[in-house]
Chain A
């Protein structure tokens, strides 16, 4: 396996793909949204429970590649327990990490999510990583459907 691919498919990504955290439906969730990538047919639904503007539980379900599944799985861990505005801030930071050009910038606030920075080298795969996040954003800001076209 070449080094570039290992950079994309790091162990932590493969682990989240194999054993996604918080995967499944969250009955009675306060907010939810569906995301769809019309180019590949992947879809994801994000469920959020909130209490006093704080994310108490978050889950996802859907079908996608390793990048999108790992991104969704790690996303649920990252936003759990955060306030809505903190979750929004993580969304924006993640977004800028996978789309920024030039030399990679450190994103210490993102923790483990930094392993997904490698997706920047694969332009057609960036949407795989961002689909769950756009869906989260839609859920946080009122629900509905998003498309990454």
Chain B
């Protein structure tokens, strides 16, 4: 509990049961963390406990179980608020994933005649997105643009994989930019974008901002008040929580002003055929029975990170936030060391090229070999139990910009080891031997 507690991430590996299993007859070497993270026992235990002893629907039953489920569901939302440092848990909307959060914002910004005062994107307006966006932060905006006659414009990047801020500044001068969407940490390159600066620049011209935090949430402390983005989205299965859980953070004034998204139960105040009124936040954007177990699992995952930093659910909010900060400091440092070691080892291999070389990048190493296609690399590594991702990583415009059709990607989590880095490098060496 002390402030000086050291965070023991080497021991934390044992908290993840799947990491002790085998793949294709070899110890599993899981280096596909950017796709999804593994789950600690603490999360599995909470899920098991929920299904066995608390399962009921939330916010509507008067009975014992429903009250238990509602209590833990609401508590989890409060934990997410702390995770993001949002000023109110009303700004924390549960979605089924990062993708849904972005679709929600894009969909609501199409506007509604019933909401004349709400912000909207209309004909001739511009939406700026970086070239390195994941398809989930491109396609919803294209759908919106087609619907309302707006234009999506890509912000260029450098060969190293950095956003061209000069180009961004000049694009903002068009006078028509209504929305800027930026990935916090690139899933393909690991680049950490200067989102705070980009948000401030967008706000200067009156544009809204959405930050895709899918790859940031698992690896760094997020403070949405400091970033000041209007919207921030999380993919929670990457944050050691179950799949099917996402979070949309939105500034309360905006979420209050925007029209509703999905209609249904729970999101209403009163319903009649003459006029339906809507519930207050966050219920307004959570139609239907939510992913109750998933949300509680997310709360447990964040509590797990907090416990790594030396606080417990019983600690004060300030202590928990500080513990989260300590945990992420340690996580960031370890993942950086793993990534740096992998980079050094891989660059010794003739014909290997790393894509994405911006200083200070996150724990992602994307690479190509002159002799072998990423899919062949992926299959051969898999035979040694090493899980990586091969393909375009849902970033086809980025791949085109970089002049590659695909890359192989190793992405690290704090529970990975330096021994696994060696296995990866040895595996890639075997690929080059086979294809030499």
Are A and B genuine complex partners? Answer: yes
A residues contacting B by CB (< 8 A) are 1-2, 4-5, 8-9, 14, 17-18, 39-43, 63-67, 69, 122, 125, 128
Tell me whether A41 and B376 are in contact (CB under 8 A): no
CB-defined contacts of B430 to chain A, threshold 8 Å: 1
Which stretch from B43-51, B124-132, B171-179, B388-396 is at the chain A interface?
A: B388-396
Cβ < 8 Å to A, chain B residues 149-203? none
**B residues touching A (Cβ–Cβ < 8 Å)?**
372-376, 379-380, 383, 390-392, 396, 399, 405-406, 430, 433-435
CB pair B405–A66 under 8 Å, yes or no, is: no
Determine the residue in chain A with the shortest Cβ distance to B433.
Answer: A1
Q: Is the CB of A14 within 8 A of B375?
A: no
Residues of A within 8 A of B392 (CB): 40-41
With A1-B433, A40-B392, A41-B406: A66-B399 Cβ-Cβ less than 8 Å: no
Q: Report yes or no: B373 in contact with A41, Cβ–Cβ below 8 A.
A: no
How far is A106 from B396 in the complex, measured between Cα atoms in Å?
A: 40
Task: Tell me which residues across on chain A come within 8 A of B379, comparing CB atoms.
Answer: 5, 8, 122, 125
Within the assembled complex, what's the spacing in Å between the Cα atoms of A8 and B396? 28
Nearest residue (CB) in B for A41 is B392
Determine which of A5, A17, A42 lies in contact with B380 in the assembled complex, contact meaning CB atoms within 8 Å: A5
A121 CB to closest chain B CB, in angstroms?
10
Among B372, B383, B405, contact of A42 (Cβ-Cβ < 8 Å) = B405
| Min C-beta distance of B187 to chain A, whole Å | 15
Chain B's interface: helix, strand, loop or mixed, by majority?
helix
A119 CB to closest chain B CB, in angstroms?
10
State in angstroms the CA–CA spacing of A112 and B433 once bound together: 24
Complex CA gap A125/B391 in Å reads 12
Instruction: Please tell me if the beta carbons of B391 and A41 are within 8 angstroms of each other in the complex.
Output: yes
Of A40, A67, A125, the residue contacting B406 (CB under 8 A) is A40
A125→B390 CA distance, assembly (Å): 12
Does the CB pair A40–B375 fall under 8 Å? yes
B383 touches A5 (CB 8 A): yes
Are B434 and A41 in touch, CB under 8 angstroms?
Answer: no
* A9 and chain B: residue at smallest CB distance: B434
A41-B135 Cα distance, complex, nearest whole Å: 13
Whole-angstrom CA separation of A42 from B392 in the bound complex: 9
Given contacts A5-B434, A41-B391, A42-B406, 13 further A-B contacts (CB under 8 A): A8-B379, A9-B380, A9-B434, A17-B435, A40-B390, A40-B391, A41-B396, A41-B406, A43-B405, A65-B374, A65-B375, A65-B376, A66-B372
Measured between alpha carbons, how far is A122 from B390 in the docked complex, in Å? Answer: 15
Bound CA–CA A52/B221 (angstroms): 69
* Residues B373 and A1 in contact, CB atoms below 8 Å apart: no
**Contact present for A41 and B399 (CB under 8 Å):** yes
